[in-house]
Structure 1
Amino acid sequence: MKLVDIEAIEPGQTLGRTIFSANGTVLLSIGVQLTVFMISTLKRIGVTMVYIDDPLFRDVTNEEVLSDSTKRAVIQQMSESFDALRSGKTFNTKAVSMTVDQLLDEVLQNQSVLVQLSDIRTEDNAMYIHAMNVCMMSTLVGLNMGLNMIQLKELAIGALLHDIGKINAPELQEGRYHHAWRGFELLKMKREYSLLSAHVAFQHHEKVDGTGTPRGLPGEEIHLYAKITAVANTYDNLLTDLSEGRRLMPHEALERMHAMSGTALERDVLVEFLRIVSVYPNGISVRLSNRQTGVVVGQHRGLPGRPIVRVIDKDGDTAVAAQEIDLAQHTTLFIDSVLV
């Protein structure tokens, strides 16, 4: 599969990854042939990039930390929980806890897999996919930092529900109306959850230099869970931020986060975070320093910035040969730019 800008998609191309709806059901299944109507609909609901099935890269897949079944369960549970809050009801804390257990089990099984955030977002499912991603990445970082299972569960619940204060909140929030305050007030009342989980919602916008919100806490007063969630939250937000007219690619987001180390983000947490994410995810088109272009097809756990790139030599529009360049072995070559 290959990651392609929605504007470059043509009718008849085959979808390379399933797209989920806001309630966790399948919106479009992998393998479906895209029609003019489907492409138009994807654009209308806010999709900017999609994976397509390219015959030259059909064997390329993204090894995932979470299975599709677990993703569906998490998205569905978040949808149900937030819908309950929107209607003035309480959400099912036990059901959320059980969903977190399912997520934790898969994180533990796949802790050596580099994170490649490949799920396609729409305007309807973006909030739920964001919560799922932040939870999954936070848990991986916590695992690498030596947290035990009780601590991982506290962290995971807090990370999954870190934005719960945004539900039914006014668009502009300050002081005690900030969504972090609202989230804390809501979660601290849930006796089934640790108060530390509530503090994740409370503190995930605090910065280690004391300039964050809502209370401007210095680094030593911010709980580790919140510091971890802040890093994961920042990364996922940077990948979807359209303030510059386009979303950042993973390598660009990580460069931004490097600049935040020691000011907005905790340096030790950021170091661990950089070990779990793929700088150049599978399916991305890149240009190498020798001017060859290709698609990333493989990863190295210990060297996330040195993937395997498949270069296709063509005679006109016809592929005549394929070469895989392992940047971990070719140390004088590097990725010059991302072409998506």
Structure 2
Amino acid sequence: MRLTLVSNLVGNEILAKNIITEDGKLLLKHGERVNQEHISNLKKYKIFFVYIEDEDLEDIYEDTYLNSLKETALKSMPDIFNNLLTGNTEFINEALVSVYELIDYISGEDTINTNLYEVKNYDNYTYIHCLDTCIMSTFLGARLHYDKENLRNLALAALFHDIGKTKISSSIINKKGLLTKNEFDIIKLHPFYSKEIISKIPSIPACVIDGVAQHHEKFDGTGYPFRISGNEISEYARLISICDVFTAVSSNRNYRNRFDPYEAYELILSSSSTYFDPKLVELFKNTFSVYPLGSCLKLSNGIEGFVVKQNPGFPDRPVLRVIYDINKHKITPYEINLLKNTNITVISVL
């Protein structure tokens, strides 16, 4: 299968993967042939890429079980948040079962394809932002060899980090244009509100509460609300802050367009030692790849190729399979390893 931007669909392509809306509903099913109405619906739901079948890339396949776990977890998000906000402690753990299943699966799989496009499959800023932040944080925690209890606690902190924004007026949260100083001061209260909400749940441990309350602290001490620095900041919060910023800037907002995943990735790397813990930024770099398997890249030598393999530790230097020549004529496929061809750079994602 290969990844194709929705803007590049022409119709008649066969979907290689289910398309799920931001609230977890099935929009289009694996195996359906794309038509113009489908393309319009994809744009309507702000889904900016899909996977389609390609006989030259049959060795690239999806993790269907992981996808089903994500879909189920997304559907459970309204119940999770509603139970938290109403203080319904009886059903909190029941609502979290699907999230725990997702976390446990991630922790047990070393070969999951973690890429920054896949995390940001949807272009919205509701439940999916919290779930994306949770998934990314879980991957990082797994790479740190967290045990099951620690990994679940980290995931809970990431999942609940922004729930305090429900106490802030939507006119501020959804404002078009820059916030005033007073409005931003109100926004900066949301870590306190989040802490207040989850502290009412007796089963939530202190480490989760700290991770939530401190997720806007910066490594150099210039964050909020406590202006603490370095290792004074909870490790959960230091992990979550990286994932939170990545998922935030990768989403369209009322006041700006989303960053391309590569731009968001560069922002994380450039903020090492100032906003973020440099050791955890290095972990981020070694965990996530920029260009997903099956994506088509245009290179500086004019050649276009499809990503078929990642180079660990070098997230922006994958192995490509070239199927067409420069004039779009089909050729005998060959591969280019960008790690070994450092004079060639990626120009764009097609």
TM (norm. structure 1) is 0.86
TM-superposition CA deviations, 1:195-235 (whole Å, max 9, x none): 22122221111111222223333334311100011111122
Letter matched to residue 17 of structure 1: K
Instruction: Give the distance between the partners of 1:273 and 1:112, measured in 2 at CA.
Output: 16
CA 111–45 in structure 1, closer or farther in 2 if over 3 Å, else same: same
Does structure 2 retain, via aligned residues, the 8 Å contact 1:208–1:219? yes
Letter matched to residue 165 of structure 2: K
1:176 shift after superposition: 8.3
Give 1:1-340 correspondences, 5 Å limit: 1-62=1-62, 67-83=66-82, 90=88, 92-116=91-115, 117-118=117-118, 120-123=121-124, 126-171=125-170, 172=172, 174-175=185-186, 178-241=189-252, 245-249=257-261, 251-314=262-325, 318-328=329-339, 330-340=340-350
Helix, strand or coil at the partner of 2:317? coil
Aligned length: 334
CA 262–315 in structure 1, closer or farther in 2 if over 3 Å, else same: closer
CA 308–95 in structure 1, closer or farther in 2 if over 3 Å, else same: same
Instruction: Give the distance between the partners of 1:225 and 1:194, measured in 2 at CA.
Output: 13
Does structure 2 retain, via aligned residues, the 8 Å contact 1:82–1:167? no
CA 220–81 in structure 1, closer or farther in 2 if over 3 Å, else same: same
Return 223-232 or 319-328, whichever deviates more.
319-328
Instruction: Give the distance between the partners of 1:246 and 1:130, measured in 2 at CA.
Output: 13
Instruction: Give the distance between the partners of 1:141 and 1:45, measured in 2 at CA.
Output: 29
Letter matched to residue 135 of structure 2: M
CA 176–256 in structure 1, closer or farther in 2 if over 3 Å, else same: closer
CA 252–260 in structure 1, closer or farther in 2 if over 3 Å, else same: same
Instruction: Give the distance between the partners of 1:75 and 1:318, measured in 2 at CA.
Output: 42
1:69 shift after superposition: 2.2
Instruction: Give the distance between the partners of 2:326 and 2:281, measured in 1 at CA.
Output: 45
TM (norm. structure 2) is 0.84
For structure 2, the residue ranges without an aligned partner over 5 or more in a row are 173-182
Does structure 2 retain, via aligned residues, the 8 Å contact 1:287–1:339? yes
Instruction: Give the distance between the partners of 1:288 and 1:263, measured in 2 at CA.
Output: 32
Return 263-272 or 36-45, whichever deviates more.
36-45
TM-superposition CA deviations, 1:140-179 (whole Å, max 9, x none): 2223334333222211111122222223531436358722
Helix, strand or coil at the partner of 1:279? coil
For structure 1, the residue ranges without an aligned partner over 5 or more in a row are none
